[in-house]
């Protein structure tokens, strides 16, 4: 004797066929996944390396902005004031922000745009050679370096 079909049982066949079709479509993606794990891990590492590089670039940008605002260029143990040429009449202005970024015990020679020595930064204070009694600063520093 045949059983009578209920309303819901007549949908079992088409539903099973649809799920089988989805399985066939998804099989290539699911079967290749284990071989792609290495590539996925490498991609994650590259993005973390990229973040590190991005942070370094941002820090360099901030430092460059500080130098630009102070209108100076670092050169090892010396500084060049790029928009100043010393004529002995006016003292160059170095920003307090720039001076505060230096170490307390640092001695740094300061040059004008023509790369002529114009003073010294010592203990976060700028001493200009044009000030009274300070004309020998650059000569004394160059002798100390030798």
Q: In this structure, are residues 109 and 79 in contact, taking their beta carbons and an 8 Å threshold? A: yes
DSSP-assigned letter for residue 137: H
With H, G, I as helix, E, B as strand and everything else as coil, classify residue 47. helix
Contact criterion met (CB below 8 Å) for 92 and 117: no
CA distance 10 to 82: 87
Residue boundaries of the structural domains of the chain: 35-70, 72-145
Helices (H), 3-136: 12-70, 96-100
User: Between residues 66 and 16, which one has the greater pLDDT?
Assistant: 16
pTM for this entry: 0.46
pLDDT band at 128 (very low <50, low <70, confident <90, very high): confident
């Amino acid at each position: 004797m045949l059983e009578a079909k209920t309303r819901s049982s007549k949908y079992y066949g088409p539903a099973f066929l649809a799920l089988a079709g989805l399985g066939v479509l998804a099989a290539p993606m699911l079967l290749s996944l284990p071989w792609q794990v290495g590539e996925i891990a490498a991609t994650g590492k590259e993005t973390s390396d990229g973040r590190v590089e991005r942070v370094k670039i941002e820090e360099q940008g901030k430092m460059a902005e500080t130098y630009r605002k102070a209108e100076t260029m670092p050169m090892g143990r010396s500084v060049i004031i790029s928009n100043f040429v010393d004529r002995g009449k006016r003292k160059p202005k170095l920003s307090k922000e720039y001076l505060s970024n230096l170490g307390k015990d640092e001695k740094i020679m300061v040059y004008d745009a023509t790369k002529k020595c114009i003073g010294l930064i010592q203990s976060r204070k700028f001493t200009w050679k044009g000030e009274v009694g300070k004309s020998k600063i650059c000569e004394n520093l160059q002798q100390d370096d030798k």
